[in-house]
Amino acid sequence: MRYGLWYWPGIQGRGEFIRLPLEAAGIAYVDCGRVEGEDMLVANMAHHAAKRGPFAPPYLELDGMVIAQVANILLFLGDHHQVGASRIADRLWLNQLQLTIADMVTEVHSVHHPVAGSLTYEEQKDTALAVAKVFREERMPKFLTHFDEAAKSGPGEWLIDHHWTYADTSLFQLVEGLRYMFPKRMAALEPAYPDLIRIRDLVADLPGIRAYLKSERRLPFSQNGIFRHYPELDAA
């Protein structure tokens, strides 16, 4: 059994939140979008559209079944592999955190595309400058404080128990993305969130993640992804 992961080729994007726990746990998957290309991804989505299809990538395919939406895919992986939680209260907490991470990722995308995903950054740059200021000054401290509190709330060094989960790998990706997009702002903010950074460091040190980050399977951050580094949008 191998999962098919379908996502836009060439970028980490939201697909990366799925790749990380798969890689960390050594779960077999094929990165179908990269192997088969964007045309096949579009064709595959159209094929599924009439019967419980995805609204957008990423989605997982297994025996013809499709599971879409990042938090939904992670909930599924958490229930079927050792990357989630078993107790109900823990499962709800991880899902809640993942949904809050997803909310922040959506806001990150809106920083550089506040008017339309179908326009270029340059066409909406003036608005992006205003949105970026609000994001850096109001939204980043609010979200990061919440995630730091979450990182403090467990009995061990991970979010729950004494084992990493998909929410830990998602926090890693969030911190990495924010460091790429807002290096000045993150350098100023990070000292206030030591527990969040502890989890980022623990994830980076997982054997599966160490191997993945060194492989060519890990795509670089770029100006085509969700986290984009436009220097004019950053400030300490």
Residues that bind a second copy (CB under 8 A): 49-55, 65, 67-69, 71-72, 75-76, 89, 92-93, 95-96, 99-100, 103, 106, 110, 114-116, 118-119, 127, 130-131, 134, 138, 143, 146, 149-150, 152-153
User: What residues have CB less than 8 Å from 100, skipping those under 6 apart?
Assistant: 143, 146, 147
Q: How far is the CB of 198 from a second copy (least distance, A)?
A: 17
Q: How far is the CB of 180 from a second copy (least distance, A)?
A: 23
Nearer to a second copy, 103 or 201 (CB): 103
Q: How far is the CB of 220 from a second copy (least distance, A)?
A: 27
Nearer to a second copy, 28 or 116 (CB): 116
Q: How far is the CB of 234 from a second copy (least distance, A)?
A: 18
